[in-house]
Structure formats: C-alpha cells, structure tokens
Amino acid sequence: DTAVSQTPKYLVTQMGNDKSIKCEQNLGHDTMYWYKQDSKKFLKIMFSYNNKELIINETVPNRFSPKSPDKAHLNLHINSLELGDSAVYFCASSPGLADPSYEQYFGPGTRLTVT
C-alpha cells in the first residue's frame, strides 16, 4: 500500500492556466507538507498543516493555495501558472510535531512543466 500518494505524477500545461495537485496519506499522520524542489535540487517548504490547521506558510505567491479537507489530504491549487513554477512538487507527512525525531515521509512527487 502506498503511504503518501500524489496525483498527477506529471503535469504539462501552458502559462496562465490553473491546475491542482492532490495528496493523500494513509499513515494516520497529523502533519502534512508541500515542498517545491527546483532544478538546483533545493527542497523548499511551502506550506504545512497540522490537524487541518495551517501552521507554516512561507513566502509563496498567493497564486498558490493549499487546502486540507481532512487530516489525510492536502491539495495544492495553483492559479495563473508561470514559467518559474516549473519544478517538482513533493507532498510529505509526519506523525506530528510533538516528537522532534519524527521523520517525514514523502510522496513520489509531481513534475510540473509550464510552457
């Protein structure tokens, strides 16, 4: 069984379009994350939810909007896509915030290409 899943795996779209990426985890974790990994391979946190509450909201254009309908799902909607949005987007989850040793489990990633 897949622990953290994302759809779609690949997304090719044109500038100006609106798209969504979905993430689901079946680990019973409380905390979920969205990361962006650019061509230089830096993993940059975008958002984090703990028990459906937004706790991390880094400096990200407001064209990006996360939504957590329940603890097992965290979706990412992107409006008015730009060339610079091309990257791999990873969803991740962890059991919670209480124990600092909690590792994060990553989904397979969504490779977004904006043309």
Interface ranges with another protein (CB under 8 A):
40-45, 48, 50, 55-56, 90, 97, 100-101, 103-109
- CB nearer another protein, residue 64 or residue 90: 90
Estimate to the nearest angstrom the gap between the alpha carbon of 63 and the chain centroid: 14
Shortest spacing between CB 7 and another protein, in angstroms: 14
- CB nearer another protein, residue 44 or residue 79: 44
CB 37 within 8 A of CB 115: no
Written as six digits, the tokens of 58 are 């880094």
| Separation CA 64–CA 9 (nearest Å) | 18
| Separation CA 111–CA 28 (nearest Å) | 26
Shortest spacing between CB 75 and another protein, in angstroms: 18
Written as six digits, the tokens of 82 are 């730009």
- CB nearer another protein, residue 17 or residue 113: 113
Shortest spacing between CB 13 and another protein, in angstroms: 20
